[in-house]
Amino acid sequence: MDDDLVTEILAAHADRLAAGESEQAQVFLQLFPVSATEMEPLLRLAEEVAQLFRTTHVPDPTFRDQLERDLLAQHRRAHATSWTWDAGRTLAAVGVGGAAVAVAGLIVYWRGRNASRPAA
């Protein structure tokens, strides 16, 4: 059988499986009886893989509740530590800033005073 035709058949089969239809291998095998022996293992494998993707695990409600509580608590701890106000650092920053302004003021005063004196 032509590889392109097999590819098209497998793609059509996969589309039907993705749409939620199951047990489609038999339909395709009946449509192409000449290549049934070649295609049957591929179609069955595709159905098994599709079944694995459909099977989902639903976690226990108590696990989900505990996970939600833990994640919210972790969020609160992270939020609380990143937005705390440290009074010591704030006062130190204000003090350094104030000192810098005072020094700049003294420099300006001193330069202005020396500039206003006449040359002797």
pLDDT tens-digit map of 24-68: 788 888 888 888 888 889 889 988 888 887 767 777 889 989 999
* Verdict on whether the full-model pTM lies above 0.75: no
Whose CA is closest to 39, among 1, 83, 73, 4? 1
Cα–chain-centroid distance for residue 38? 42
Reading the block at residue 108, the tokens are 């300006």
Reading the block at residue 24, the tokens are 């489609």
Longest distance between any two alpha carbons in the chain, whole Å:
119
User: Which string of DSSP letters, residue by residue, matches 12-45?
Assistant: HHHHHHHTT----HHHHHHH-GGGHHHHHHHHHH
